[in-house]
Amino acid sequence: MAYKLHLWTMLRCASAATLLAVSACGGGGASDPVAAAVPTADTTAAAQAADAAAAEAQAIRQRDDRVRLGQQIFTDPDLSEPRGTACVACHQPNQGFAGNHGSRIGVAQGSQPGALGLRNAMTNSYVGLIPAFSFETVNGETEAVGGLFWDGRANTMAEQALGPLLNPLEMNNPSRRAVVDKIAASRYAPLFRQQFGEGIFNNTDAAFTQIGVAIEAFERATLQPFSSKFDAMVRGAVAFTPAEARGMALFQDPARANCAGCHLMNPTSGKPEDSLFSEFTYYATGIPRNNAIPRNANPAFFDLGLCGPERTAPSLPATVTAGVTLENFCGKFRMPTLRNVAERPAWMHNGFFSGNLAEVVRFYSTRNSNPQRWYGPSGVPNDLPAQYRGNIETTKAPFNRAPTAGPLLTEPEVNDLVAFLRTLSDGLRAP
């Protein structure tokens, strides 16, 4: 898998040009021994500029090498137990940097046959824009914000990258040392030592930590390119089709789909970076239970997101809104970005929806008006214990729609919304 690191290439070229320009600067002539012996202000400035340019070039080479190292780790199939499963297996470029390692039940397949996880693999595109986990209280309302994974249990990309390596249902390594030994025996071990020190493999914890640091460098440099049709439209380079334009209007309409009420965007700013398509907060939206998940065979088992079982329960700060307890967050999961959403093979934390993005839109359109379609004859949300069903979102549009009002969207409108969501896929090719 090849990634074109255009940013680093441009920086290297710019630094080389700086060095050439500096080397052409002169002081006194060769026939002037006094001028040659006594530095002038110009020659001192030139020397300082040359030193700065050399330091910049070295820093760029260091970053470039670290990105290359992170890519090699990310794509190395020898880092699982048994060998054969790389990080990229669950984060494939042609599947929106998601993919579940080929699993068709909506959650990730691990390195061992029959090892199936609890959750859908999140995209790792644009993860560099997610803040660390915290609770924030604004206007009397406390919300959980940020963090990596569906439950926010990792605060940094480097920390998140290390989790799958030791998870028995993912890459299944028995220990940190086992992973470090595999890195030490790899073809890129010299580059790892170059980056982190000749003796790095002698310190298990330090070496393991730096694995995450290298992967983070790769993800930051290559997985947030802002290269979609939407981004080109924001820059004024292309125009949307009528269906895409109608879909974006629905997406933004606070009285209709209101997707932009949570999946934040600013298409008129001229800067794609202003449209991250998430506020990175946590919601319980009443996603139906995925009965194909092995752990869900136990009717008493529930994935409660922020309340576990994949994380320890977070502590609420002293600034929390009066009366709010941790139980108010049970069943809530972090909202992912919608960038590259149309490329993913499955959606939502439990992968209930697979293969058809329009079905996700239909769920939002009809959850209130036709709950039997999603939950069975009772029409009662079936993937939360009764005591936490009150955490399901019912105040923001479209979740506040009266059951008697009927579907929010017509079928042509569903298709328009999907057309717009497809403009969020990176890799637009120039006509």
Residue pLDDT, tens place only, 304-338:
999 999 999 999 999 899 999 999 999 999 999 99
| Residue 179 forms part of a structural domain | yes
Residue whose C-alpha is closest to residue 335's, from 248, 419, 404, 393: 393
Residue pLDDT, tens place only, 61-96:
878 999 999 999 999 999 999 999 999 999 999 999
Q: What was the pLDDT predicted at 430?
A: 67
Q: What was the pLDDT predicted at 426?
A: 97
DSSP tag of 172: -
Residue that has been written with the tokens 């060095």 in this structure: 19
Residue whose C-alpha is closest to residue 90's, from 123, 130, 125, 126: 123
Residues 281 and 311 in one domain: yes
Cβ 330 vs Cβ 306: under 8 Å: yes
| Residue 137 forms part of a structural domain | no
- φ, ψ of residue 77 to 5 degrees: the values are -75, -5
Q: Which 3 state secondary structure label does DSSP give 316? A: coil
Angle among Cα 414, 418, 421 to the nearest 5 degrees reads 140
End residue of a domain, out of 165, 197, 224: 224
Q: What was the pLDDT predicted at 431?
A: 65
End residue of a domain, out of 224, 252, 282: 224
Cβ 154 vs Cβ 147: under 8 Å: yes
CATH, residue 409: 1.10.760.10
| Residue 276 forms part of a structural domain | yes
Residues 268 and 195 in one domain: no
Residues 332 and 370 in one domain: yes
Residues 361 and 418 in one domain: yes
| Residue 145 forms part of a structural domain | no
Residue whose C-alpha is closest to residue 340's, from 250, 421, 234, 249: 421
| Alpha-carbon distances, residue 393 vs 63, 248, 256, 326, 397 (angstroms) | 43, 23, 16, 16, 9
Give the structural domain span for 190: 1-28+40-74+175-224
Residues 251 and 362 in one domain: yes
This prediction's pTM: 0.87
Peptide bond into 82 cis (omega under 30): yes
Retrieve residue 117's tokens: 């996880």
| Residue 119 forms part of a structural domain | no
Total of domains in the chain:
2
Residues 264 and 195 in one domain: no
| Residue 107 forms part of a structural domain | no
Q: Which 3 state secondary structure label does DSSP give 125? A: coil
Residues 220 and 291 in one domain: no
| Residue 257 forms part of a structural domain | yes
Residues 239 and 253 in one domain: yes
DSSP tag of 312: P
Residues 203 and 279 in one domain: no
Residues 205 and 338 in one domain: no
Length of the chain measured in residues = 431
End residue of a domain, out of 163, 197, 224: 224
Residues 220 and 233 in one domain: no
| Residue 149 forms part of a structural domain | no
Q: What was the pLDDT predicted at 338?
A: 98
DSSP tag of 131: P
Instruction: Report the distance separating Cα 331 and Cα 346, nearest Å.
Output: 19
Below-50 pLDDT ranges, the chain? 1-31, 33-35
Residues 255 and 287 in one domain: yes
